[in-house]
């Protein structure tokens, strides 16, 4: 019998506010344990929470960016459970009246992954297990979160990966979170069940908790799918439970029985007032949103003639897209800027984190000036490429590296002279060319370009060399 994977995600995203959701403590990552907390966020008796207005605004941005309906009236609730990372023994969250509902994230296939809700809540502290002891750091406690709850619409690991990547991209673009999974500012709980292909009945689900890597999400889902299928086919039953994933052994193991909503004994938070978001406020926030990555990608392909794969790389990071758009201001060939960024500039950035930061020595204005010289015919591509390499190394602008004498190319007599020199000084390449190795001419073109300091036209140089050797 063939089985189908059914998955839904609960994605927690830390919001990039300066202070926590209910107090004025900093949300800065790191710091000595228990130094970013106060009586409010560690729940001392007699303290009262006060909702951070920016948290509501950021959650509305997330909802609008994922096609949600924004509730005019919502409220906060107490989610009761006793665990050391929650000093109050309850979490302030939202239950039956969330801020955002009924949205979706569209995949590249056109399939829409429906979103049940987006609600705001406080983060818990962090437990540290060390040599049999458990320590707790409350620095993270009270950091504002949104929880994005999808419907069980995901049917493959590839869909799951794209869904998480799309969410990450959208949240970064609208500026509400850095979504650094390695720092815990984006974490996913993955709910998985299996069912026979063609069945409309959901199987018993398990939940893999606190996944902070897209690679590990994929591996955990693959393992859990196979585990459930093997269990069912051997006559066993899947138990509803919460699991942890071990990336060393690539296995899941039980943490506890999976809770349902009634286990948390939700009730309204009595210390916070109702949240009222007028429609005019929602419209104002909507107008402040930037162009979304899918819209930007389509525009790059249609207006700038950028290949789809290149456009995806340019729009994957907001800083790179902004850099590209500034660099192409007033130039004839946007694709040249795209090639420089994806080629030479990306080679200087070793990993995804460096691309996200995009901290390079060449400003968009300097790249723009270089391309304009190329467009005007004052310099050739070889000189432009070598100059960009120097700019990336030194941080100098194009006019500090290229003089007036470097611009304008070389005359026909000089090109002929350089081609003759190339033939005289590269006899082996000449013999190879005459024996049928056509690519041997490239070595002599390189000689011409080097000795003309990149001012020669490489295509004309190649044509002239071939004429002289025939």
- Mean pLDDT estimate for the chain: 90
The pLDDT value given to residue 351? 85
Radius of gyration of the chain from Cα atoms? Answer: 29
The pLDDT value given to residue 257? 64
pLDDT at 405 over 60: no
65-98: pLDDT as tens digits: 999 999 999 999 999 988 888 989 999 999 999 9
The domain boundary residue, chosen from 285, 313, 347: 285
The larger pLDDT score, comparing residue 72 to residue 415, is at 72
Q: Are residues 352 and 449 in the same domain?
A: no
Q: Are residues 234 and 342 in the same domain?
A: no
The pLDDT value given to residue 259? 61
Q: Are residues 378 and 441 in the same domain?
A: no
CATH of the domain at 456: 1.10.10.410
Query: Contact 185/14 with Cβ under 8 angstroms?
Result: yes
pLDDT at 261 over 70: no
pLDDT at 410 over 80: no
Q: How confident is the model at residue 184 (pLDDT cuts 50, 70, 90)?
A: confident
Q: Are residues 37 and 181 in the same domain?
A: yes
Q: Are residues 114 and 212 in the same domain?
A: yes
The pLDDT value given to residue 220? 96
What is the number of structural domains in the chain? Answer: 3
Q: Whole-angstrom Cα distance, residue 397 to residue 388? A: 9
92-151: pLDDT as tens digits: 999 999 999 999 999 989 999 999 999 999 999 988 888 889 999 999 999 999 999 999
The pLDDT value given to residue 470? 72
Buried (b) or exposed (e) across 100-117, using 16+ Cβ within 10 A? bbebbbebeeeeebebbb
Q: How confident is the model at residue 422 (pLDDT cuts 50, 70, 90)?
A: confident
Q: Are residues 113 and 227 in the same domain?
A: yes
The owner of tokens 């005007």 is: 376
Query: Contact 452/418 with Cβ under 8 angstroms?
Result: yes
Q: Whole-angstrom Cα distance, residue 53 to residue 39? A: 20
Q: Are residues 261 and 235 in the same domain?
A: yes
Q: Are residues 108 and 244 in the same domain?
A: yes
Mean pLDDT of 195-215: 93
The pLDDT value given to residue 408? 55
| Residue of 137, 149, 138, 123 lying closest to 22 (CA atoms) | 123
Global confidence as pTM:
0.81
Q: How confident is the model at residue 363 (pLDDT cuts 50, 70, 90)?
A: very high
Domain that holds residue 427: 412-469
The strand order across the sheet containing 3-14 reads: 69-70, 100-106, 112-122, 144-150, 3-14, 186-196, 206-211, 241-246, 251-257
Q: How confident is the model at residue 158 (pLDDT cuts 50, 70, 90)?
A: very high
pLDDT at 404 over 60: no
The larger pLDDT score, comparing residue 199 to residue 465, is at 199
Q: Are residues 168 and 297 in the same domain?
A: no
Q: How confident is the model at residue 260 (pLDDT cuts 50, 70, 90)?
A: low
Six-digit token string for 345:
């500039």
Mean pLDDT comparison of 137-146, 255-264, 442-451, highest-scoring range: 137-146
Q: How confident is the model at residue 461 (pLDDT cuts 50, 70, 90)?
A: confident
304-327: pLDDT as tens digits: 999 999 999 999 988 999 999 999
Mean pLDDT of 1-30: 95
Mean pLDDT of 196-201: 92
Indicate the pairing of strand 144-150 with strand 3-14.
antiparallel
The pLDDT value given to residue 411? 66
Q: Are residues 195 and 75 in the same domain?
A: yes
Q: Are residues 244 and 192 in the same domain?
A: yes
Q: Are residues 161 and 33 in the same domain?
A: yes
Q: Whole-angstrom Cα distance, residue 235 to residue 273? A: 52
Q: Which of 27-31, 114-118, 200-204, 419-423 has the lowest mean pLDDT?
A: 419-423
Buried (b) or exposed (e) across 50-83, using 16+ Cβ within 10 A? ebbebbbbbbbbbbbbbebebbeebbbbbbeeee
pLDDT at 462 over 90: no
Backbone angles phi, psi at 136, to 5 degrees: -130, 135
The domain boundary residue, chosen from 285, 300, 322: 285
The pLDDT value given to residue 435? 79
pLDDT at 460 over 90: no
Burial label for 212, CB within 10 Å (0-12, 13-18, 19+), is middle
224-235: pLDDT as tens digits: 999 999 999 999
The domain boundary residue, chosen from 406, 423, 451: 406
Q: Whole-angstrom Cα distance, residue 429 to residue 433? A: 6
């Amino acid at each position: 019998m063939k089985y189908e994977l059914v998955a839904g995600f609960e994605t927690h995203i830390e919001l990039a506010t300066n202070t926590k959701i209910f107090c004025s403590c900093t949300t800065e990552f790191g710091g000595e344990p228990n130094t970013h907390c106060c009586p409010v966020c560690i729940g001392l008796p007699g303290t009262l929470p006060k909702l951070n207005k920016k948290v509501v605004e950021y959650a509305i941005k997330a909802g609008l960016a994922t096609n949600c309906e924004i509730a005019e009236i919502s409220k906060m609730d107490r989610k009761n459970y006793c665990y050391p990372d929650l000093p109050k023994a309850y979490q302030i969250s939202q239950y039956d009246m969330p801020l955002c509902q009924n949205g979706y994230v569209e995949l590249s296939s056109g399939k829409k992954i429906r979103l049940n809700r987006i609600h705001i809540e406080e983060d818990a502290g962090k437990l540290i297990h060390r040599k049999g002891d458990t320590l707790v750091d409350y620095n993270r406690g009270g950091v504002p979160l949104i929880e994005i709850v999808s419907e069980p619409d995901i049917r493959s690991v590839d869909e799951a990966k794209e869904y998480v990547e799309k969410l990450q991209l959208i949240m970064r673009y609208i500026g509400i979170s850095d979504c650094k999974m390695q720092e815990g500012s984006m974490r996913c709980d993955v709910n998985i069940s299996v069912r026979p292909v063609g069945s409309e009945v959901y199987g018993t689900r398990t939940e893999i908790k606190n996944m902070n890597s897209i690679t590990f999400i994929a591996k955990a889902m693959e393992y859990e799918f196979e585990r459930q299928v093997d269990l069912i086919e051997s006559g066993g039953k899947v138990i509803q439970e919460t699991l942890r994933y071990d990336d060393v052994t690539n296995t899941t193991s039980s943490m506890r029985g999976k809770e349902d909503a009634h286990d948390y004994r939700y009730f309204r938070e009595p210390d916070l007032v109702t949240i009222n978001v007028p429609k005019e406020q929602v419209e104002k926030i909507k107008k402040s949103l930037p162009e979304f990555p899918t819209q930007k990608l389509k525009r790059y392909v249609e207006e700038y003639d950028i290949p789809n794969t290149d456009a995806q790389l340019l729009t994957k990071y907001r800083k790179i897209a902004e850099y590209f758009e500034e660099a192409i201001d007033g130039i004839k060939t946007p694709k040249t800027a795209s090639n420089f960024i994806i080629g030479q500039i990306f080679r200087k950035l070793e990993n995804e984190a460096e691309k996200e930061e995009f901290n390079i020595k060449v400003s968009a204005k300097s790249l723009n000036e270089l391309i304009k010289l190329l467009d005007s015919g004052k310099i050739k591509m070889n000189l432009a490429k070598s100059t960009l390499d120097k700019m990336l190394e030194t941080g100098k602008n194009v006019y500090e590296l290229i003089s007036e004498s470097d611009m304008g190319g070389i005359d026909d007599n000089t090109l002929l002279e350089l081609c003759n020199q190339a033939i005289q000084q590269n006899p082996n390449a000449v013999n190879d060319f005459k024996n049928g190795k056509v690519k041997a001419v490239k070595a002599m073109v390189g000689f011409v370009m080097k000795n003309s300091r990149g001012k020669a036209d490489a295509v004309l140089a190649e044509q002239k060399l071939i004429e002289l050797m025939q």
